[in-house]
Structure 1
Amino acid sequence: MAQKKDKLYPVTIYEKAWKEKNSEARLKLIKTIWLEDSTFEEPSTSIKGIAAFNNVINEFYKKFPDAVFTFGSKVVKDNYVTWEWKIQDSKNKLIMGGRDFARLNGKGQVSKIIGFWDKDATFSEEDILKNLEADNFKVVAQYFECLFKTRDFNTMATLIEEGAIYNQAEGLPYGGTYKGFNEWTKMYAKSAEFFDLEIEKEPVYFSNAAKNEVIIYFTIKCKAKKSGKTLSMPISEHFDLKDRKITAIRPFYFDTKQFAEFLKSRK
């Protein structure tokens, strides 16, 4: 039993590496069992070396940040080990399942791993797009909450890709193109000089997950600070996303000219 446990040590560390979400901590684990000529193959990739294997796991967690791994019992024959595994999300919904075969070098290290996917267990392309659509909705909904309700700019900053573009209509007093979240906050501050607003109708969400786009439609009720007048205005906002972060926003006002005149008008 002790000999079998020792033989399985590199597989145990391999599984721990897949569960470790911190890249640096994971790399330390990988280095204890992986060589520069060790290989990893599965339907989506074929790599060799320590850094390349760590990057495979990094890329996986970018797509499935809340993934939870479960590994089955091991079958050992000479320097070969095989076992089943499955991956679920935080709500126990199956992401993927399959079987791995490992060849060990007898010195506590992995020579090669080949992963086979269970096509009946994996998500279909339609399911993957549905999950991506749900994730994109969450990002946009959280952005909306931070901007219009909680004013939580610290959380909002985590939702925005570095260098993201915000395009405001040129006819507005705060119109123009703003690049990066710091510039966005300046635009928010400038717009607040002209009006106070409340959400009159909560947003309706539309999405094209294949293009990483989300569109929301809602209505604001504004009070102009110069005139004290009020105006309701439907707005749609177009969001582009990448890796579950916002890369661009373009708002469309139902009547941009009317809205601009409303903001500039005096008593």
Structure 2
Amino acid sequence: MRKIYFICFFFMLNSLFAQKKDKLYPILVYEKAWSERNSDARLKIIKTIWLEESTFEDPSASIKGVAAFNNVINEFYKKFPDATIVTSGSKVVKDNYVSWDWKILDSKNKLIMAGRDFARLNGKGQVSKIIGFWDSAAALSESEVLKNIETDNFKVVAQYYESLFKTRDFTTMAPLIEEGAIYSQAEGLPYGGTYVGFNEWMKMFIKSTEFLDMQVEKEPVYFSDATKNEVSIYFTIKCKAKKSGKTLSMPISEHIDLKNGKIIAIRPFYFDTKQFAEFLKSKK
């Protein structure tokens, strides 16, 4: 009898391991696609995990579809023909969300750039969405990194985040926003649209409270391109829909542009905008 229990337990462990391995398989194929220099060969690889509805977002591109993604990699190798991409190994963050770190090295093994990617998988061995963050600070010296962290841009974004998501202190937030600044919310949300100027931002923030209560579930990670006035933050929120009473956790990134120490534009990205919109609109 004990032997039977042991065999069942062994197969159960194998099954769990296989499920985890299968979940990460699309990312292994994705990494293989990035390593393939031949465009035609790469396209065949991409088609095995990428759909025409799949999207890719990073500071250099915002695309949808198989051919468009292949072209992103083509353009990359035009710019860095001798580059080598090294990844740290992907891991499941939550449900169908996967994350991994990467580095781009030149022919002399010198670091060009580093960053982190986040993917949403569809559970069928395919990639639904990838959002990539660049961390140019990884290529800087330790003293330069410390100097970069202390810049006004980081301070402004950190204060904006604290004011909006923690203290709800719009009085403190207002001076951080440039006159005529643009906030671009996903159109599919009940408070979606383009809002110009802090007063319009306020209306959008207030309108959002009609649909949900929100708290931060996972504190933000900050990324910055040292050559540009932009900062990206990645964090997770936990929401309760007011219409249905249901709860949902959702990873979000916000891309923030700054000028002269003030925010001039914000674009939030939801890992599953459709799911989030349906969650907000659903009834009991």
5 Å-filtered alignment, 1:108-257, equals 127=144, 130-131=147-148, 134-257=151-274
Task: Name 2:278's counterpart in structure 1.
Answer: 261
Task: Name 1:39's counterpart in structure 2.
Answer: none
Q: What is the deviation of 1:190? A: 0.6
The amino acid across from 1:171 in the alignment is G
Q: What is the deviation of 1:134? A: 2.8
For 1:208 and 1:133, locate their aligned partners in 2 and report how far apart those are by CA, in whole Å: 14
For 1:139 and 1:224, locate their aligned partners in 2 and report how far apart those are by CA, in whole Å: 30
Secondary structure, counterpart of 1:170 in structure 2: coil
The amino acid across from 1:264 in the alignment is K
For 1:156 and 1:166, locate their aligned partners in 2 and report how far apart those are by CA, in whole Å: 14
Q: What is the deviation of 1:209? A: 2.7
The amino acid across from 1:178 in the alignment is Y
For 1:249 and 1:133, locate their aligned partners in 2 and report how far apart those are by CA, in whole Å: 21
For 2:234 and 2:227, locate their aligned partners in 1 and report how far apart those are by CA, in whole Å: 20
Task: Name 1:61's counterpart in structure 2.
Answer: none
5+ unaligned residues in a row in structure 1: which ranges? 1-125
Pick closer, same or farther for the CA change 1:129–1:189 going to 2, 3 Å.
same
Task: Name 2:32's counterpart in structure 1.
Answer: none
Query: Cα RMSD over matched residues?
Result: 2.0
The amino acid across from 2:216 in the alignment is I
Structure 1, residues 93-126: CA drift from partner, whole Å, max 9, x if none? xxxxxxxxxxxxxxxxxxxxxxxxxxxxxxxxx9
Secondary structure, counterpart of 2:283 in structure 1: coil
5+ unaligned residues in a row in structure 2: which ranges? 1-142
Secondary structure, counterpart of 1:211 in structure 2: coil
Secondary structure, counterpart of 1:247 in structure 2: strand
5 Å-filtered alignment, 1:34-45, equals none
Q: What is the deviation of 1:152? A: 1.1
For 1:239 and 1:140, locate their aligned partners in 2 and report how far apart those are by CA, in whole Å: 8
Secondary structure, counterpart of 1:142 in structure 2: helix
For 1:198 and 1:223, locate their aligned partners in 2 and report how far apart those are by CA, in whole Å: 9
Q: Percent identity?
A: 81
Structure 1, residues 183-221: CA drift from partner, whole Å, max 9, x if none? 000000011100001100000000013210100000000
Pick closer, same or farther for the CA change 1:137–1:201 going to 2, 3 Å.
same
Structure 1, residues 117-175: CA drift from partner, whole Å, max 9, x if none? xxxxxxxxx95994487321111010010011111111100100110000000000000
How many residues align? The count is 143
For 1:129 and 1:165, locate their aligned partners in 2 and report how far apart those are by CA, in whole Å: 30
The amino acid across from 1:249 in the alignment is I
For 1:250 and 1:134, locate their aligned partners in 2 and report how far apart those are by CA, in whole Å: 21
Task: Mark the structure with the bigger radius of gyration.
Answer: 1
Pick closer, same or farther for the CA change 1:237–1:133 going to 2, 3 Å.
farther
For 1:201 and 1:131, locate their aligned partners in 2 and report how far apart those are by CA, in whole Å: 24
For 1:211 and 1:131, locate their aligned partners in 2 and report how far apart those are by CA, in whole Å: 12
After TM superposition, where is structure 1 displaced by more than 3 Å over at least 4 residues in a row?
Answer: 126-133
